[in-house]
Chains A and B, each alone.
Chain A
């Protein structure tokens, strides 16, 4: 039996069209590359040479040293290995939790739908970062706490999205036809409804990458995510606050963070005119 996928634009959707979008994608790729190669390209980020603490940028230390004498350049490069995966994990977790829940709620309706929507409303009623902070604090400061906490605040968006898609699609003929031939709800959901919902969900997920990464960095800034001495961009800015005259110790991780988020937002404009409005 054919599974008609109505609106599946495929990978074409993700192809950049303007110079800005290409730039964004390139910067993202660059950071990923740097993160992967970080250990090769830089020195030990934990090595403390207290004699050299708080030195400005120089040939020996391209980005200077922080208050414990560690090379900021190495820490920035390796910080990407913490900051970037956190952002990705958050989005992945939020989608993996939110989409099935929302799709199921939209499909079977009834009390499940009500329950999921009420919980989502409740979660929307609090400022996201604040609630994530509370959850992360309750779970105990660690990387996984931060990821879980932020994902816990983000999943309702995906749930709503998936539910909306399911609600629109469930009445379409091909879904009804499937059900008429005796396919179980789960089968119909998996094989027909989800592939049609996938483009919109992916779109939002990509755009959320920047937000999620920032949130993860912010929680690390607050001490609730990545723990010292592991380098992470947000955490690095946090320690740098104590020594504001040493501008290099905060500027470079800050720039790294900003450049990544700008890149995601630049690239994200690729979805602007693709008629994916609901």
Chain B
């Protein structure tokens, strides 16, 4: 079984974005491993809160300054109130307890730059990023997988070499560079895509059902609005989609090449099956599994990439929120945003793994 680029650290090693990471599978089959993940989930989330708590208390020179901002900290009253509210004079575990308590009540702090509750701002921004991430993922799979299959089927041909070069470039591109270039060309020069925002300001947004505006617009029976959203979505989604499409293309090609070397391919040939069937059915199915196992990981990269891409293209999601928070040193926003993204990432990964297990009834040999 095949046992591994963009921005930091998928868990196992990989080589120049070509090999899929080996995934360690535990004994006992899929169901048990899902159950195990569900059981450890609360601990993982708890651990994340602890991590963010420790970072926000122990890393800054003065947490009060960090949370209130330089201006806010000038006001001694504000500082005292802050210390009282967050128990900075109490022992650490009490502080952590207070922190957790606030979290569970939905209090993610107040933004220094906007003075609004961070939780509300994140709730506004998050669905936009989710929509972007899903769109980008779809693009990357739709582009990357066929490209990888063709490259593997025509190994060492000119097509393969060209694709190899293009995908190498794709995984080496920083999202912010591609986003800026794409903005300059597609928007400024050619005017093919819409400007900042999710929707033309003259249009009314559809009632929120899923939070994904395209879907919501279609559900509300307003396809023109959906189209407009897509017009705005296409630039950031394509930028991220290209980069990760290149990644998937390389992974698929690599796993397909391995698959095509397998004895079962020889068996298939020995049965007189046509090349297309062998590649399309035998090799592809075999290569699909390690590829899909990377989808969860890709979400993490998409969230990270969204930070710069949303900013440059003006898509109002969590990424842009984090960018603003970071550049303005809006400490509470950064910390809360990181936690929320982290939680979302963990949940998405779990969901992807469950879906993946449902779709593929084959249990990996333990």
Contacts and interface: CB of A to CB of B under 8 A. Distances in A.
A244 B235 CA distance: 15
Contacts of A222: 307-308, 323, 326-327
Contacts of A128: 7-9, 300, 304
Contact of B8 (A154, A244, A264, A278): A154
B8 A150 contact: yes
A212 B13 CA distance: 15
Interface in B324-357: 325-327, 329, 331, 334-335, 337-338, 341-342, 345-346
B338 A133 contact: yes
Contact of A137 (B7, B16, B326): B326
Contacts, number: 184
A215 B3 CA distance: 27
B194 to A, nearest CB: 15
A240 B180 contact: yes
Interface stretch (B103-111, B169-177, B223-231): B169-177
Interface residues of A, number: 66
Given A122-B48, A222-B327, A265-B17, A130 B183 contact: no
A268 B202 CA distance: 50
A130 B308 contact: no
B213 interface: no
Contacts of A118: 47
Contacts of A132: 8
A135 B13 CA distance: 24
A138 B334 CA distance: 9
A214 B181 CA distance: 17
B341 A126 contact: yes
A116 interface: no
Given A122-B44, A262-B169, A211 B7 contact: yes
Nearest to B302: A127
A127 B334 contact: no
Contact of A133 (B15, B180, B307): B307
Given A127-B342, A157-B9, A218 B174 contact: yes
Interface stretch (B49-57, B120-128, B273-281): B49-57
Given A127-B301, A138-B55, A269-B16, A133 B334 contact: yes
A221 B308 contact: yes
A240 B365 CA distance: 52
Residue among A121, A137, A204, A222 facing the most chain B CB atoms (10 A cut-off): A137
B59 interface: yes
Interface stretch (A6-14, A101-109, A183-191, A245-253): A245-253
Nearest to A156: B9
Nearest to B299: A127
A153 B9 contact: yes
A127 B304 contact: yes
Dominant SS at the B interface? helix
B188 A244 contact: yes
Contacts of A211: 5-9
B59 A135 contact: yes
A176 B60 CA distance: 46
A215 B18 contact: no
B322 interface: yes
Contacts of A258: 169, 172-174, 177
A268 B15 contact: yes
Interface string B245-265: 000000000000000000000
Contact of A125 (B59, B168, B311, B342): B342
Interface string A206-221: 0100111011011001
A125 B8 contact: no
A127 B11 contact: no
Interface in B13-56: 13-18, 22, 44, 47-48, 51-52, 55-56
Interface string A151-162: 001101100110
A134 B52 CA distance: 8
Nearest to B303: A127
B180 A237 contact: yes
Nearest to B331: A137
A169 interface: no
B60 A223 contact: no
A214 B15 contact: no
B308 A218 contact: yes
Contact of A207 (B7, B16, B66, B174): B16
Given A135-B55, A245-B188, A272-B18, A129 B180 contact: no
Given A133-B307, A223-B327, A241-B180, A122 B16 contact: no
B83 interface: no
Contacts of B323: 222
A246 B105 CA distance: 47
A73 interface: no
Contacts of A207: 14-16
10 tightest Cβ-Cβ pairs between the two chains A and B:
A128-B8, A138-B59, A127-B300, A129-B304, A254-B177, A134-B338, A261-B172, A268-B16, A126-B342, A262-B172
Given A128-B304, A153-B8, A222-B327, 6 more contacts: A130-B322, A133-B307, A138-B66, A223-B327, A266-B16, A269-B15
17 contacts: A118-B47, A122-B44, A123-B51, A129-B7, A129-B304, A132-B8, A133-B322, A133-B338, A137-B331, A141-B329, A154-B9, A222-B323, A224-B326, A240-B180, A262-B168, A266-B168, A268-B15
